[in-house]
Amino acid sequence: MNNDIERILISQDQIEQREDELATELTAKYQDQFPIVVSVLTGAMIFTSDMLKRLNFKLNVDLVDVSSYAGANSTGEVELVQDLKSNVAGRPVLVMEDIIDTGRTLAYLVQLLKDRGAKSVEVCALLDKPERREVEIDGDYVGFKTPNEFLVGYGLDYNNLYRNLPYVGILKRSVYEQ
């Protein structure tokens, strides 16, 4: 698996250090807010779980599956594959994402949460690829801005592979151009 990686872009240590910083910020902000933390499946699973252990305030956890990709290129379509279990009306919501790319997934999800009456909606994303943005939306808490490379690992996949790499790496071209 590691042989398919061109190089490591963000190491496990760098991720963990940044997660500590983000968690400190979030813990200050959400101390008495009792938010619902919404993890966007499947990519955000690892980031969410590592962050949850660092968030020192009362919260609920929920999952949503919103899908925007097919293979290497975004189709531009967003689909609600699995809905939340919680009622978000009147509750602050903190959305956890692995990456903001075109912004379509988040734009859709944030609008959905607002339409359902969430008290507030903020987004915490590990990675942000601003060059790829098609919809105007930004994360409120962002781990790393990244260049426009094919990234995998730490939740990010290619054809549902490489999610379990403990770092964020650049996938070799030969892997997806064959």
Positions that interact with ligand PRP (CB under 6 A): 40-43, 67-69, 74, 97-105, 157
> Could you give the angle at which helices 45-52 and 12-30 cross, rounded to 10 degrees?
60
Q: Between 42 and 60, whose beta carbon lies closer to ligand PRP? A: 42
The Cα-based distances of 175 to 3, 30, 77, 96, 152 in angstroms read: 10, 42, 25, 28, 12
Tell the smallest beta-carbon distance from residue 109 to ligand PRP (Å). Answer: 9
Residue that has been written with the tokens 């993890």 in this structure? 39
Task: Report the DSSP beta bridge partners of residue 118.
Answer: 89
Tell the smallest beta-carbon distance from residue 97 to ligand PRP (Å). Answer: 6
Annotation marks residue 138 as catalytic: no
Q: How many CB atoms lie within 10 A of CB 172?
A: 15
Q: Between 41 and 52, whose beta carbon lies closer to ligand PRP? A: 41
Q: Between 36 and 100, whose beta carbon lies closer to ligand PRP? A: 100
How large is the C-alpha radius of gyration of the chain? 16
Pull the structure tokens for residue 137.
């939306």
Tell the smallest beta-carbon distance from residue 76 to ligand PRP (Å). Answer: 8
Element (H, E) at 106: helix 104-115
* Identified catalytic residue from 98, 101, 128, 157: 101
- Beginning with the edge strand found earlier in the chain, give each strand of the sheet holding 36-41 in spatial order: 73-82, 60-70, 36-41, 92-100, 120-128, 141-145
Tell the smallest beta-carbon distance from residue 50 to ligand PRP (Å). Answer: 15
Catalytic residues: 101
